[in-house]
Structure 1
Amino acid sequence: MTSKPARPARSGDADLIVIGGGIYGVMLAFEAGRAGRRALVLERGQIGDATTANWFRILHGGFRYLQSLDIVRTRESAAERRWFLDFAPDLVQPFPFLMPLYGDGLKRPSFLRMAFLLESVLTAGRNRGLRPESRIAPGRTLSVEETAALYADVRREGLQGAALWQDAVAFDDRALMNRLRHAAESLGAVFEEQTPVLDLQVSGDRVSGVIVGGPRSGPRTAPLVINAAGPWSGEIAERFGAPAPELFRPTLAFNLLIDRPPLAATGLAVAGPSPGAPMLFLLPLEGRTFAGTWHVEWQAEDREARVAEADVDAFLQALAQAAPALGATRGDVLGILPGLQPLAKGSRTAVCDRPLTIDHGRKGGPRGLISVSGVKYTTARHVAQQVVAGLPDPADC
């Protein structure tokens, strides 16, 4: 990894300001530092909170994109998974996942065997440079007997076997976020918490900085401002006189930490027997079960994620269908981890599957204002890299 460390950014000499200290804001600061630019990250709460704090801990390698033959994103996700495995091998490890197969649609052993073979060819460099314990093993299919040996409570009726693959998992997500933040700081980034951004400063038709509130209220100057505030990005863009309704239409997603022992030593991808039942993931987490992810239509005007009791009950009912042996009840729920994610066009609950970057100066807004709405934790660095690569030369700012 080559980088050109910048001097730490101070108010008044930052090359760019990043609004939002989630995974996208941190990665933007990191990639800016690698490019020799000094980033000042302004976060209204704590770095890594809100949606970023409540993700499902899996760094996906892009296998699911093969269903639509999206080869570009398959390779992109595998490369970013490899980056995480290399960056923090003590915090990000390969972990096995098992999906029982009942012959529904593409969930057949014959199809999965071909898909795993194709994945191996398309992501041949997925382990390049990694230490042995960080390498991702190729996926394979299991017989009915092998499936039952790993997952004793599997539903036997109609079972044809299982798919077994590895992805990367970050069980200590807070430690990973701290590691990423420190890496950005080592490249010159400065982070200010409890610092809400109140307004944009403009000189002529170009950005000159922002005004912040909080304990250290006042101006922060920089010729570039990147709005990466997640659920609040649309609100901020509108406040800055650069409305972009398409930037972030929210849908609610949440995971549950359940005080029930894991059903298998592997992660599980399970669905109920009813047609169209959602695929749910169960991840062993310190002797308990981490379950995700449930999606709900978001109808509130505000952007503070919260989950209704009825939605928790609906998730538990789906889990009872998909994994009845778990036996999870409302009293077993230790934690509800919600976050607002960008909504897919034309849907009420599905998450958008592509990031969105808007250069507001090209749409009649202030020059030097850019908004980024990301989707996946796994590919946040790649998106940040593209955004930073597209920034104007500092001499032109």
Structure 2
Amino acid sequence: MCPEFQVHTTMRDLSPFQAGHFDVCVIGAGVYGAACAHSLAAAGLKTAVIDKGDFCSATSANSLKILHGGLRYLQHGNLVRMRETIRARREFMRFAPHLSKALACAIPTFGSGLRSPLAARCATLLNNAIGSDRNLGIAGDLALPPGRTISRESFLQQFPGTTVPGLSGGLVWYDTLAGNTERLVLEYLWAARDLGALPCNYLRAERILTQNGRVEGVLVTDVPSGQPFAINASWVVNAAGPWFDELLEASGIPPVPTRWTKAVNIVVRRELNPDCAVGIESNEEYSDQDAVLKRNKRFYFFVPWRGGTLIGTSYKEWRGSREDLLPTRADTEEIVREVQAIHPSWGLEPKDVSFAHAGLLPMSGIDASGAVQLAKHSLIVDHGKTGGPQGLLSLRSIKYTTAPVEADKVTAIILRDTGRRPARQPAPAQGQGRVPAELAPLLHSRYGSRAPRVAGHLAAADSDTWWLSREPPLLRAELRYFIQEEMALHLTDVLFRRTGLGSLRCPPAGLLTTLAEAMAAELGWDGARQQLEIEQVMRRFAMLPQEN
């Protein structure tokens, strides 16, 4: 190991969970659970955060990667929600600038109503004014320009072949593209750990423990070993995503009635526009029942991402097992057919789909046309105020972007109830040590201020031995870092959450074998286990046509 680097080995360790007492135990380590853990730890509360699977392995891993500023909320007349979203987007950009970049977004204008050029100019003026502080504390290269309207010619130059009847131009605004939303969640978890929180994956919450009307902790099972034990905590935050109501039922606590919709996005290996996302109305009849200003169609968005395009989102009510949720071939083909109908000149075919992901979101109902109506607001339930146990909060989340705002609300409730004042913890300094100059651009773009910690796992000064893979680039040090400091236990953890190498297309067989063998050397897998790990990766691509 390079002598100038100090390695902080934080292998997954259950003993602190078994022996200690926590102020708060957060159940669920998606973006909301991770943001809660960070907010609570920053306020000086001793915090545990657990997940029954890997970190950010469920709904938080399914998004179009846009951290939006709430332009869509103008049609609801909800300026409070819009301001919260602008604040949350700004916090994400400050927190992880290496994972953020400004992204132009556009929708076509047409007709004389809500989609007219006049309406677009009004929306632009309002959006610019309401978000006038959108760049407060943001580095210049990440700053979001003001929105604007563009001509018909300019719109067609950027998106040739667009067939919108009566096209008159476009509305352009700027949001933030998070290149790797899974790593963004991990950044929150590791920042919380730096502040004293204890995160752990593959630790399943069985039920919430109560006595005399008060929360006492959580009964959990360590998934790898099957070992059950109790985590003692004065408060529990139930941020278990689609499982939050099931956990309440298992604990004998009245659940919060919730219907769920399956949301699906696809990745295609083609670019529509490498520099600008676009929303085009689908043929699906849809009317947002909560909007002040109604529109009759649902948008499909095309988002440039890593040399391909993310397209979504489709919604269908879900009544099946939450454990079995995966996108199907029927899901991907439905989106392809919709794209063929609304943008036929692009010539998208099923064989162009390289990946798909799905998640469950709360829905409020189904309208007269059969379209899903999404729930519009996150919900924080203080069960002690609704006849349940004191010390239990349930968080039903909606949008990835608003996680930091909702997390601060959770922290404020706990501090207010306990009478404690926030004891803000100074964030530990990152970036101590040296990153070899030839690796600096790669490591800083992936890990920001944590790049030196990754470089600390370089085993030799000879650069020829650094690489597990030259294309795509992956260092042996990165894999050791994932296992020793980020608790990666499975090949899927590395490919889908730690690196994103499996999130654009199916990795080559040779790369899968190389990674499985390298993980086997670290974790003691035999040949059968390596094959099983590869099969689990391939299961995620079962929705693709055979030629893919």
TM-score by length of 1: 0.92
Secondary structure class of the residue paired with 1:231: helix
Q: Select the residue among 32, 37, 43 that pairs with 1:35.
A: 43
**2:418 equivalent to 1:393:** yes
Q: Which residue of 1 aligns with 2:280?
A: 270
1:160-210: CA deviations, max 9, x gaps? 001111100101223222211111111111111111111222222211111
1:188-203 aligned at under 5 Å gives the runs 188-203=196-211
User: How far did 1:68 drift?
Assistant: 1.8
Secondary structure class of the residue paired with 1:179: helix
Determine the C-alpha separation between the residues in 2 that align with 1:264 and 1:323. Answer: 17
- In the superposition, relative to structure 1, how do residues 334 and 120 fare at CA in structure 2: closer, same or farther (>3 Å)? same
| Equivalent position amino acid for 2:131 in 1 | T
Secondary structure class of the residue paired with 2:390: coil
- In the superposition, relative to structure 1, how do residues 351 and 156 fare at CA in structure 2: closer, same or farther (>3 Å)? closer
Q: Flag structure 2 segments of 5+ consecutive residues without an equivalent.
A: 1-14, 286-295, 421-548
Q: Which residue of 1 aligns with 2:153?
A: 145
Q: Which residue of 1 aligns with 2:521?
A: none
Determine the C-alpha separation between the residues in 2 that align with 1:274 and 1:296. Answer: 12
Determine the C-alpha separation between the residues in 1 that align with 2:272 and 2:344. Answer: 12
Determine the C-alpha separation between the residues in 1 that align with 2:155 and 2:82. Answer: 26
**2:260 equivalent to 1:250:** yes
1:301-340 aligned at under 5 Å gives the runs 301-340=321-360
Between structures 1 and 2, the one with greater helix share: 2
**2:93 equivalent to 1:73:** no
1:351-372: CA deviations, max 9, x gaps? 2110111112222222112111
Please tell me whether the aligned partners of residues 150 and 264 of structure 1 are also in contact (alpha carbons under 8 angstroms): no
Q: Which residue of 2 aligns with 1:135?
A: 143
1:214-233: CA deviations, max 9, x gaps? 23531110111111100000
Please tell me whether the aligned partners of residues 209 and 219 of structure 1 are also in contact (alpha carbons under 8 angstroms): yes
Q: Which residue of 2 aligns with 1:378?
A: 401
**2:290 equivalent to 1:280:** no
1:54-101: CA deviations, max 9, x gaps? 121000101111112211111111111111111111111110012122
Please tell me whether the aligned partners of residues 35 and 404 of structure 2 are also in contact (alpha carbons under 8 angstroms): yes
Secondary structure class of the residue paired with 2:185: helix
1:75-154 aligned at under 5 Å gives the runs 75-103=83-111, 105-154=113-162
Residues 95-104 or 375-384, more deviating: 95-104
Determine the C-alpha separation between the residues in 1 that align with 2:156 and 2:322. Answer: 46
1:84-131: CA deviations, max 9, x gaps? 111111111110012122227411111111111112222221112211
Please tell me whether the aligned partners of residues 251 and 341 of structure 1 are also in contact (alpha carbons under 8 angstroms): yes
- In the superposition, relative to structure 1, how do residues 304 and 362 fare at CA in structure 2: closer, same or farther (>3 Å)? farther
Determine the C-alpha separation between the residues in 2 that align with 1:90 and 1:301. Answer: 37
**2:377 equivalent to 1:354:** yes
Aligned-pair identity in percent equals: 32
Please tell me whether the aligned partners of residues 85 and 401 of structure 2 are also in contact (alpha carbons under 8 angstroms): yes
1:314-365: CA deviations, max 9, x gaps? 2111111222233222222111100001112455622211011111222222
Q: Which residue of 2 aligns with 1:4?
A: none
Please tell me whether the aligned partners of residues 259 and 362 of structure 2 are also in contact (alpha carbons under 8 angstroms): yes
User: How far did 1:297 drift?
Assistant: 1.6
Determine the C-alpha separation between the residues in 2 that align with 1:345 and 1:201. Answer: 33
Secondary structure class of the residue paired with 2:21: coil
The ranges of structure 1 where at least 4 consecutive aligned residues each deviate by more than 6 angstroms after the TM superposition are: none
**2:233 equivalent to 1:210:** no
1:259-297: CA deviations, max 9, x gaps? 223245311111247874421111112221110111112
Please tell me whether the aligned partners of residues 295 and 350 of structure 1 are also in contact (alpha carbons under 8 angstroms): no
Which of structures 1 and 2 has the bigger CA Rg? 2
Secondary structure class of the residue paired with 1:262: coil
Q: Which residue of 2 aligns with 1:227?
A: 238
| Equivalent position amino acid for 2:386 in 1 | K
User: How far did 1:301 drift?
Assistant: 4.7
Aligned residues: 388
**2:185 equivalent to 1:177:** yes
1:284-295 aligned at under 5 Å gives the runs 284-295=304-315
Alignment RMSD (CA, Å) = 2.1
Determine the C-alpha separation between the residues in 2 that align with 1:290 and 1:27. Answer: 25
Determine the C-alpha separation between the residues in 1 that align with 2:268 and 2:278. Answer: 15
- In the superposition, relative to structure 1, how do residues 346 and 154 fare at CA in structure 2: closer, same or farther (>3 Å)? closer
- In the superposition, relative to structure 1, how do residues 385 and 270 fare at CA in structure 2: closer, same or farther (>3 Å)? same
Determine the C-alpha separation between the residues in 1 that align with 2:419 and 2:56. Answer: 28
TM-score by length of 2: 0.67
| Equivalent position amino acid for 1:51 in 2 | T
- In the superposition, relative to structure 1, how do residues 116 and 202 fare at CA in structure 2: closer, same or farther (>3 Å)? same
User: How far did 1:394 drift?
Assistant: 6.7
Q: Select the residue among 367, 370, 392 that pairs with 1:369.
A: 392
Determine the C-alpha separation between the residues in 1 that align with 2:358 and 2:271. Answer: 22
1:23-46: CA deviations, max 9, x gaps? 111011011012110110111000
- In the superposition, relative to structure 1, how do residues 361 and 56 fare at CA in structure 2: closer, same or farther (>3 Å)? same
Determine the C-alpha separation between the residues in 2 that align with 1:217 and 1:384. Answer: 28
Residues 347-356 or 133-142, more deviating: 347-356
Determine the C-alpha separation between the residues in 1 that align with 2:252 and 2:162. Answer: 55
